[in-house]
Amino acid sequence: MRVGIIGGGQLGRMLGESAQLLEIESLFLEPSPSPSAAVAGEVIVAPYDDRVALDRLARECEVVTYELENVPVDTVRYLAGKVAIHPGPGALETAQDRLAEKRFFRSRGVSIAAFVPVDSVEQLEAGIELLGLPAILKTRRMGYDGRGQLYLADPEQASGAFAALGSVPCVLEEVVPFDRELSILAVRDRDGATATWPLVENRHAGGILRWSVAPAPEVDRELQLLADALATRLLEALQYVGVLAVELFQVGDRLLANEIAPRVHNSGHWSIEGALTSQFENHLRAILGLPLGQTSVLLPCGCVNLLGRLPDLSELLAVPGARLHLYGKEPRPGRKLGHVTVLGADHGQIRARIDAVRALTAG
Q: Which residues of the shown chain bind ligand ATP in the complex (CB under 6 A)? A: 113, 136, 143-147, 173, 175-176, 181, 204, 207, 247, 258-259
Helix (H) or strand (E) holding 27: strand 25-29
What's the distance, Cα to Cα, between the start and end of the chain in Å? Answer: 39
Selection from ligand ATP, Mg ion, none that 50 binds (CB < 5 to 8 A by kind) is: none
**Strand, helix or coil at 231?**
helix
- Closest approach of Mg ion to the CB of residue 185, in Å: 14
What residue type is assigned to position 342 of the chain?
V
Selection from ligand ATP, Mg ion, none that 204 binds (CB < 5 to 8 A by kind) is: ligand ATP
- Closest approach of ligand ATP to the CB of residue 139, in Å: 9
Nearer to ligand ATP, 26 or 267 (CB): 267
* Beta carbons of 130 and 174 less than 8 angstroms apart: no
Q: How many residues bind Mg ion (CB under 5 A)?
A: 1
Residues 238-257 that bind Mg ion (CB under 5 A): 247
Selection from ligand ATP, Mg ion, none that 254 binds (CB < 5 to 8 A by kind) is: none
Helix (H) or strand (E) holding 183: strand 180-188
Selection from Mg ion, ligand ATP, none that 92 binds (CB < 5 to 8 A by kind) is: none
Nearer to ligand ATP, 3 or 91 (CB): 91
- Closest approach of ligand ATP to the CB of residue 253, in Å: 18
C-beta neighbour count of 95 within 10 angstroms: 23
Which residues touch 132 (CB under 8 Å, ≥6 apart)?
A: 174
Nearer to Mg ion, 150 or 319 (CB): 150
- Closest approach of ligand ATP to the CB of residue 230, in Å: 16
**Strand, helix or coil at 21?**
helix
Position closest to Mg ion via CB: 247
Q: Which of 328, 341, 319 is nearest to 275 (CA)?
A: 341
Selection from Mg ion, ligand ATP, none that 73 binds (CB < 5 to 8 A by kind) is: none
Helix (H) or strand (E) holding 171: strand 170-174
- Closest approach of ligand ATP to the CB of residue 69, in Å: 7
- Closest approach of Mg ion to the CB of residue 144, in Å: 8
Q: How many CA atoms lie within 13 A of 37 on its CB side?
A: 32
Selection from Mg ion, ligand ATP, none that 175 binds (CB < 5 to 8 A by kind) is: ligand ATP
Nearer to ligand ATP, 113 or 337 (CB): 113
DSSP state of 316: H
Taking each helix axis from N to C end, the angle separating 73-80 and 51-60, rounded to the nearest 10 degrees, works out to 40
Q: How far is CA 51 from CA 78, 116, 171, 225, in A?
A: 9, 38, 33, 43
Selection from Mg ion, ligand ATP, none that 360 binds (CB < 5 to 8 A by kind) is: none
Q: What angle do CA 100, 74, 289 make, to 5 degrees?
A: 85
Nearer to ligand ATP, 4 or 143 (CB): 143
- Closest approach of ligand ATP to the CB of residue 50, in Å: 25
* Beta carbons of 3 and 62 less than 8 angstroms apart: yes
- Closest approach of ligand ATP to the CB of residue 138, in Å: 6
What residue type is assigned to position 267 of the chain?
S
Site of interaction with Mg ion (CB under 5 A): 247
